[in-house]
Structure formats: C-alpha cells, structure tokens
Structure 1
Amino acid sequence: MTAVKNILFIMCDQLRWDYLSCYGHPSLHTPNIDALAARGVRFTRSYVQSPICGASRMSTYTGRYVQSHGASWNGFPLKAGEMTMGDYLRPLGLRTALVGKTHMEPDAETMQRLGIDPQSIIGVRVSECGFDPYERDDGLWAIGPDGRYDPRLPRYNEYLNQKGYGGDNPWHDYANSGLNDDGSLASGWAMRHAGKPARVEENDSETPYMTRRAMDFISEAGADPWCLHLSFIKPHWPYIAPAPYHDMYGIKDMIPVVRSEDERKDPHPVFREFMQHRVSLTFSRPEVRDEIVPVYMGLIKQIDDQIGELFRFLDRKGLMDKTMIVLTSDHGDYLGDHWMGEKDLFHDASVRVPLIIYDPSREADAARGTVCDELVEAIDLAPTFIDAAGGDAGNESHRLEGRSLLPLLRAAAPEQWRDVSISEYDYSLSQAAQRLGVAPRDAHLFMVADKHWKLMHAPGFRPMLFDLLNDPQELHDLGTDPAFESQCQRLMAALHRWALRPSQRTTISDAALQAGRGKSMRRGILIGVWDESDIPAELWTAYRGERES
C-alpha cells in the first residue's frame, strides 16, 4: 500500500549537482530545494545516461540506456514503439502531462509508414515521450540564416506579445536579451552580455511562467491522480537573467574552477579535441567565467524561489502529503572546469546530477532527511514511479533497465544493488570526431564508474581512468599508468558485461518466457521423439485417429 497519489517530476536543464546549498555550495543558498531534501532522500551518486539533453532525457523517460533506445543525440528521433513514462503510468490511473522541455524528436518516418496520424491522441503521445503536452516548450526558439531551430511557435512567445513585448520572437528579444548603453539589443547569445538584466520583467520570464503553467495544470486536474513533468528550461544557456537575479551574485560567490595545466600537457586525444571546441576555448578564459557563473547562480536562485511558490501552492491545495516530488537535472555544465564548456564528456561537472526524492508515504518516514550514496541512474526514475503508483516495475524488466528506488526511499536494503554506473555519449556530429577522423558509427564514448574509480572509454583510443577517492576533482588521468592497468581491465570487463545484456528483447517478458518453457509439446510440437512410448501418452491424443482407407 502507498500514500502516493500524484507525482511531481521536476527537471532542471543543465543544473550541476554541486550548485545547490544542500550539496555543499557555500554561497548559493537554495532553501526550498534544501527543505525538500530534509523531507526526503538526497542522492550523492546520481548519474545521467548521457551528458547531452536529448539522449539523457530519452533514457529518463524510457527507463532504458541510450544504446537501447537509440536516440543518442539532440534531434535523433526516439523510435516509435518505445514505451515511456506515460505509457506505464496512464494504465495505473495517472494523467501524465508535460509542462516545459523534453527535447524529444518524434519518429515521423515510422509513424507515417504505420499510418499514425500525428494529430491523433496516439500520435501526439508517440511524439511527446508519452506525455500529454499541457505546454511543450524546449526553450530554444532560435532563428538563423537557415530558418528556425525549432519550427514550432511557442505559446510563451504569444504570452509575451499579449503582455506588450513586441516582435515575432520576444523569447530572444526580451527574455534572453538585454540592452547596451546606446539602447541597442544585447543578445544573450553573446556571453559578454550575461551580466546585463534581461529586458523581460521577472514575473514574465521563463521560470515563473512555467511554474504558473504547472499550477494551472494541477488546478485543472482537480481530484484526479496525475504525474506532472515540470521541466524547467533554465539554467541552460543563453546565460542571462532578469533583475534582480542578474546581479544577485558576484565573483566572490564563485567556487574555484577545477582544472590543471597538467590536463593540457598530454591529454587523451578525444579530450584534447573537446578542449578545442569553441565553447571550451571561450570558457577557458577567466573573464568569461567571471561573467557567466554569477548569472548561472542567479538563474538557479530564481528556480529555487519558484519551487518555493509551487510548494506553498501544493500546501494550500492539501497535496503535499499525497504527492511524490522529484528534483533532478538532465546533465551538468562544465563552466570552464577541465578547460571545457558545455557537457561533452564524463567528468562529474557534466554527468553527475542532483537527485532529491520526497516520498509522502509513511513507509518513507525512517529515511526522511537522509543521504544515500548508492550508485543510482536516471533510468531508475521510471520504475520508481511505476512502483510508487501501485504498479509492479518488476513485470516490465524486459523493457526497463533501471531499478526502482523505493527500497532506498523507505530505508530498506535492496537486493544486489548495482556496483557500477554507465553513461554514453555519441560525438558523431562533433568537430572532434571530424578532426580525429572517426567514422560516425565509431564515434561513441562510454563511462563506467563505481564508488572508487571512473573509466572513460573511446573505442580506438586508450582509456581514461580517475581515482575518485584520492582525486575527487578528476585532475589526474591514470589511464596510461601501468600500475593501474588492472583497474582499467576490471572496469572494461564490467562495461563488456553491460554491453552483452539482452536489451532488445522487449516484446515478451521474462515471466512469459519462464511460463512457456517446455510447453510446446502440449501444443503438438513433438521434436526429437523416436518412439511413442518415449513421452506421456496424453501428448499423442490428437495423433491417434483412425486412418482413412
């Protein structure tokens, strides 16, 4: 039995694990998120399945590794037919809806081949990761010489127009731009403008707007059970914030950059090329970090303030004691750590994310306010939600590759918890792959990590190895040191075992296979029989009729 009636699944975009006060940030205070951690469980070793928006999210929504679902980069379609959160939760009675971002690209080719109308209920759900899109908004309403990055027009732009913000793309001109001293537009795409206040009023900026839309959905849902995926667009770039969040923090509030000159002396070839990407070279300049990081912190502070508004709303509605609340991120942000920008590799700045789960049921009372250091993965959320909603994720183990976190949320000892975590990255579209001469089918990276060691594997190249206990900042690559060859071999063996899993047998369950063992003879398939007396007489029943003369 469970007290969970609803699920509020909050995901921030590009939020680092260490930029919350409950995770140790000394100057960025996030009291509302901290209060959630005090009522739930805070996980310290939570890894995403890919450090890129689209692939990470598709793993979270399907409960499957990237190699399994195949949508390995932004814009790569998720195969029609992949089961997602909505497909699992809707039969359990939960209306499953989206407010915000998924970065999901539908498999339009297969939908057309199968005759699925994209405007039908089925077509919309196949196109939206199984969610009913109360308001889909990926927050990337960019326009270039070749047209729009996203051809859809956001409701948010319409909202801004109605509020008096002019132009055909107020998302850019107001919510993600400031003004220069001469009154000209200072686009948020140019990071030198990050410290300027966005032209939009704070209440009309993206984070408060999405929070209100979440409240609208909850109010409309009434007494019906629901799972709402509130997927904030920030603190993802463009790095620009409305007043007062644009200058709430300064250089004195920044935590030191994590990088060493030794990292650039003889780096792994893939790491070397990633450090040469434009965003990495930009973030390697001290003045860039000094401009960007305080604004990044302000965007996070705004999220925390809005989460506080949302929690108070739930309290007024009497929903806090019946709603499971999850807060996490789709990946981190290097912010100049390891001479990198963006999130292309597997250092903790990129692949490790915050994960806080509040379970309102009485079974969770013993674990409230605790910290869990088990290895958990983003794919664990789908089975957790199924079990919390009264289903049995174990019955879906032929599809779901994650594990339910309910035992950890309820102070129970899970059986045989994982001893390594896996993440993947497809760099086939990158300049790094082009410069290295790596073919698209070979341009894949893998991470396998336990609580002590992390190995990064690029097929065709040597491994990267980090001692997480003695080098928690991951500054010293031990991959070429013969003294640690055994660790490389051990982790590579774990990666090989993972790669041999039967990930594509998704149409028949383990239970059905076990139940069907040895049953074909009872349906008349008598293979290998020499004499009728070799098998029970009843198996010959249909084959003993009189022969026609």
Structure 2
Amino acid sequence: MSEPRNILFIMFDQLRWDYLSCYGHPHLKTPHLDRLAARGVRFDNAFIQSPICGSSRMSTYTGRYVHSHGASWNGIPLKVGELTMGDHLRAAGMSCHLIGKTHMRADAEGMARLGIEPDSLIGVRVAECGFDVVERDDGMRPEGPDGFYDEGGAARYNDYLRAKGYESDNPWHDYANSGRDAEGHVLSGWFLKNSSEQANIAEEDSETPYLTRRAIEWIEQAEGPWCCHLSYIKPHWPYVVPAPYHDMFGPDDVLPPVRSDAEYADAHPVLKAFMDAPVGKAFARPEVRNPVVQAYMGLIKQCDDQMGVLFDYLETSGRMQDTLIVVTSDHGDFLGDHWMGEKMFFQNASVKVPMIIYDPSTAADATRGTTSAALVECIDLAPTFVQVAGGAIADHILEGESLLPLLRNPDADTRRDFVICEYDYSASPISEKLGLSVRESAMFMVADTRWKLVHFEGGFRPILFDLQNDPQELVDLGADPDHADTIAAMYDKLFRWTRRNAQRTTRSTAQLEQMRRSSGRRGVMIGIYDENDVPLELTVKYRGLKVPDRSGSAS
C-alpha cells in the first residue's frame, strides 16, 4: 500500500448511524460496509452541523459551521464568496468531482452583482458548490400545482429511464418511486400507505445502482489525483423499494420506537410542536411506521449491496491501494423515535451519523478495524482531504480539524471537547405555529460526551439530556434546578463557540502574525519619542531631510 493519491467521498442521504450492522443493528446486515470498517476506522461520535439536507451539506462541503456559511435551510443559497472543498483541493493540485446530490442553491444575485457569467468555468463551479460536475442528481422531482420542487431534479436520470422504456413525463416518480396496482394505476411513493409496495422498476435501473455505475464509469477514465464525491440519494424518502428489497424485512425486524408517554406529555413547547407535525403524527401509528421502517431497511440493504459492487471494482482495478474512502451521511431519520419523523431536531437519531474512513497508507495499519470515540464533526472532512492532497490547511477558513492523525495513531484525539449543531427553522410552518419571528426561529445544540444542551431563541428555556444515564434522550432536565450548574457549564461552551472569529477569512494566521511586525517597517511610528529610540533602518526616510520654509508668507 502507498500514500492515498485519490479520495472517494461517499455520502448517503438520511442514513441513520445505528442502521448498519457494524454499528449494532441486530437485524439489518450490511457486510460490505462492515468490511470497509474492518479495514479502516469507525467513528462512534460523528455529528452533523445542521439536521436538514441543505445546510448540513453546505457545512460539510465548506468545512464551516452554518453560522459561518449562512446557508441555513434548504433553498437558501451558499454565498458566492464561500470556498468549498473543491476550491481548497484544486489549490493543492487535486481535482474535485460530483456524482449525485448536493442540495446546493446557487447565489444567483451575488454572481450577477460580481459579473460572474453563469456559463463560465468559474460561474459553473460557483453554482455547483465548487465541484466539477460529472452528473448532479438531487433525487427530487416531485410536482405540484405550482410546478416542480426542483426543475432540474433527476433530469438526466429521467432521460436514462425513458431510454430504457419507462414511458412517462416523470419516470422518477411514476416508476422509480411508486408502485403499481393490478389495473396499472400508479401507487405514489409520496403516500406512506404505499411503502410496502414494490417499486415498479427493475432493480438495476433504480437510483442506487444507477449512481454506482456512473461512479465506476467515471473512475475508469479518471486521471489523478482526484476527489470524487459520490453522493447517493437513498435511503431518503420516498420510502419505496424495488424487488427483491421491498419485502426482505418483516414486522419482526422492526425495532420498537425509542419514545415514552411521559416524554410526549412533558415535552418542551418547541419540541412538542415538532412532535405534533403531520409526519410525527403519522409515525406515531404502528400501522404506518412498521411498513416504512421495513422499506427503509430495504433501501439500506440495497445501498450496502451496491457498496459491494463498488468495493469489488476498486479492488480489481487497483484503486483500493491508492484511494482514501469515506462513508458518511448528511443526517439521520427519526422513524418515529421521540414521536417524530424526518430529522429536524437534535436527538442522536438525527444528528449522529455513521462515519467510516479507510486509509490505504501503511501509516494507517495500526488503526485498521478499530473504533474511535473522539468527538468528530462533518466539517472535519474538508481539512482531512486537504491534508491528504498535500496542501496547507487554511485554518482561518476551515473550522474543522484534520482526522488524518486519528487514522494513523490509535491514541490520537481531536482537540475539541464539544460538538455543535444548529437549526434555523424560520422558513418552517412550525415557526408560524409557535408565533415566532424569523429572528426567534433558531436553536443550537452543544454536546460533549456526557451532556447535551439545546438553546432556543424566542425566550424558551433550554433542554438538557444526560447522555450517560439517559442515552436514549427521553428525560429533559432543562427545567430541573438541581442541574443549573451543568446548564451554566454547557452555556459556557456554547458561548465559547460563538466567540470564535469565523468571518476573518481573507488573512491567514501566518499573515496576521507577520502584520504584527510589518507596520514599523512601513514608516508607522506610534509612541516613539526620539528617532534614536528605534533602529536606524526604520527611520532612514525621516532623517537628514531639508525643505524650504512654507509655514507663513515666505515665497
């Protein structure tokens, strides 16, 4: 084995950390991802920076917290000036390519203000989150009375399906993400009652195998060093699966939901609003939840089988010997835990993600097959990739830290003693339901290995979980006066995070240190009484000068 020359960055969408067998799921077996974990490092405390697709991914791609990059919800553009891992890697001599999803919205107004042409090389990169696009597919082409959710969503995939004979205006919906009854009616995957249906598509034509083939096709012709972001769409809803995965799991394979009646009855008012959202109410019903979880498990099983296809190709092609491989997710899925569906809150079902990293370097032999309990954030991936590429980490921009030391030293740890996650729900109906202004519709999570605190704007009290004695996060201690000191200590950590200097991105640490010493060499003399009080070389421009008297009327 040699030093990694390339990077394969695999991200699944809405994959829970505990729905892989290497993380302990008792019924869902994922041998191919387990095989990767046996050859790399499995991180047991990896956290996202926002519990929603768009803002979570923007943090991962920029290596910056949501408060820094500003793309705080789906559809909010990433500011035109934000650098991404593609920018950092190209500066280090490594190309950076996309196959799949980013959920990025381009800052069209910012590009126009700066005169950046959308069809120019820089314009395309700015509009595509810094990636050179092989194929972008955000995997979302729903259509309502006001049109498509994403006008370009699944466009190329739809062309592929039509070429394969799936005749429809929108085969993404009508075939890949829906079932079919005996009379030929489409059973839409948008309706949870259809989650037990078999998707009306050949398995090899469904989204996950399609993206795997696109990745293999690209890698076969790629010239390194390269980074390929293979960003899968599943197991994100719609929860409909092709055969044979649609009935691979039964009711006995479904784990009971992690929730309690007391948790619901005593819920914090903001948490209660999320519990009472329609998706939460739906997942509270066993007849809804159980088939959805079975379908979700089928989607994950298909994902793992495709990892087997991909890893076998990498072995036979020799790429396994020179490619760093990362597998993670943009967030989890509540699946009825804590009386919620979707992902928009801070329990670990949502904010903790799987992260497996395989490093082919001989320097990583000491950590193969190990687990790390270090507190890791997804913003750590960008600086990790820069270090793998041989570049200098711009730590005045990138707010994470490289994980390479943890991949090569079993005793290494991160420098942090807490992790951060943010959620701006000002564009959510829940904000209106709570009567909150846009400014008030924000919450922040700070967690260490023992405690998790959630702060809310809008005048609400915090939530506090004791992760040691209540690992399922069922008991909120935020109103308990006996924990006032713990709450204060966690707020100290949150305040320490808010005080970081995240916006000074145009000067590096080394440049600032140099500036401390440079002004005197440019003639600035502050507090100097006599020219002989400083070295001669600093005042040579001010010594021995003669000029005529022009202070009065003299001509």
| TM-score of the two chains, using structure 2 as the length reference | 0.97
d(CA) in 1 for partners of 2:181, 2:285: 22
Matches within 5 A, 1:147-546: 147-152=147-152, 154-221=155-222, 223-393=223-393, 396-411=394-409, 413-414=411-412, 417-459=415-457, 460-546=459-545
Deviation at 1:414, TM superposition (A): 4.2
d(CA) in 2 for partners of 1:356, 1:538: 57
Which one-letter code corresponds to 2:424 in the other structure?
D
For residue 131 of structure 1, what is the aligned residue in structure 2?
131
Which one-letter code corresponds to 2:176 in the other structure?
A
Matches within 5 A, 1:42-191: 42-152=42-152, 154-191=155-192
Unmatched tracts of structure 2, length 5 or more: 549-555
d(CA) in 2 for partners of 1:415, 1:304: 29
Map Cα deviations across residues 409-467 of structure 1 (whole Å, 9 max, x no partner): 11154476211010000110122211211111121111111111111111221111111
In structure 2, relative to structure 1, the CA distance for the partners of 1:295 and 1:443 (3 Å cut) is same
- What is the SS of the residue equivalent to 2:446? strand
In structure 2, relative to structure 1, the CA distance for the partners of 1:412 and 1:511 (3 Å cut) is farther
8 A Cα contact 2:55 2:66, kept in partner: yes
Map Cα deviations across residues 460-508 of structure 1 (whole Å, 9 max, x no partner): 2111111111111111111111111111111011000100100000010
1:27 aligns with 2:48: no
d(CA) in 2 for partners of 1:8, 1:540: 56
Which one-letter code corresponds to 2:509 in the other structure?
D
Deviates more, 1:429-438 or 1:353-362: 429-438
8 A Cα contact 2:140 2:149, kept in partner: yes
Matched residue pairs, number?
546
d(CA) in 2 for partners of 1:2, 1:530: 61
| TM-score of the two chains, using structure 1 as the length reference | 0.98
Deviation at 1:2, TM superposition (A): 6.5
Deviation at 1:47, TM superposition (A): 0.4
d(CA) in 1 for partners of 2:414, 2:133: 37
8 A Cα contact 1:84 1:129, kept in partner: yes
For residue 8 of structure 2, what is the aligned residue in structure 1?
8
State the identity %. 60
In structure 2, relative to structure 1, the CA distance for the partners of 1:146 and 1:381 (3 Å cut) is same
d(CA) in 2 for partners of 1:412, 1:402: 20
d(CA) in 1 for partners of 2:492, 2:297: 40
Which one-letter code corresponds to 1:281 in the other structure?
K
d(CA) in 1 for partners of 2:2, 2:476: 46
Deviation at 1:545, TM superposition (A): 4.9
- What is the SS of the residue equivalent to 2:431? helix
d(CA) in 1 for partners of 2:371, 2:523: 57
- What is the SS of the residue equivalent to 1:79? coil
d(CA) in 1 for partners of 2:181, 2:12: 29
8 A Cα contact 1:329 1:354, kept in partner: yes
Which one-letter code corresponds to 1:253 in the other structure?
D
Which one-letter code corresponds to 1:218 in the other structure?
I
- What is the SS of the residue equivalent to 1:9? strand
8 A Cα contact 1:9 1:228, kept in partner: yes
Which one-letter code corresponds to 1:74 in the other structure?
N
d(CA) in 2 for partners of 1:262, 1:416: 37
8 A Cα contact 1:274 1:340, kept in partner: yes
- What is the SS of the residue equivalent to 1:64? coil
Deviation at 1:529, TM superposition (A): 2.5
d(CA) in 2 for partners of 1:361, 1:325: 12
Which one-letter code corresponds to 1:482 in the other structure?
P
8 A Cα contact 2:179 2:188, kept in partner: yes
d(CA) in 1 for partners of 2:311, 2:208: 15
Map Cα deviations across residues 121-166 of structure 1 (whole Å, 9 max, x no partner): 1111111111111000000011111111112251000000000001
Which one-letter code corresponds to 2:532 in the other structure?
S
d(CA) in 2 for partners of 1:399, 1:548: 49
8 A Cα contact 1:377 1:421, kept in partner: yes
Which one-letter code corresponds to 1:490 in the other structure?
A
8 A Cα contact 1:277 1:431, kept in partner: no
Which one-letter code corresponds to 1:34 in the other structure?
D
d(CA) in 2 for partners of 1:316, 1:237: 33
Which one-letter code corresponds to 1:97 in the other structure?
H
d(CA) in 2 for partners of 1:281, 1:431: 15
Which one-letter code corresponds to 2:278 in the other structure?
R
Map Cα deviations across residues 22-58 of structure 1 (whole Å, 9 max, x no partner): 0000110000000000000000010000010000000
Unmatched tracts of structure 1, length 5 or more: none
Deviates more, 1:148-157 or 1:464-473: 148-157
Map Cα deviations across residues 228-255 of structure 1 (whole Å, 9 max, x no partner): 0000000000100111111111111111
- What is the SS of the residue equivalent to 1:354? strand
8 A Cα contact 2:406 2:413, kept in partner: no
d(CA) in 1 for partners of 2:214, 2:473: 40
Deviation at 1:183, TM superposition (A): 2.4
d(CA) in 2 for partners of 1:538, 1:233: 64
- What is the SS of the residue equivalent to 1:472? coil
Deviation at 1:548, TM superposition (A): 3.2
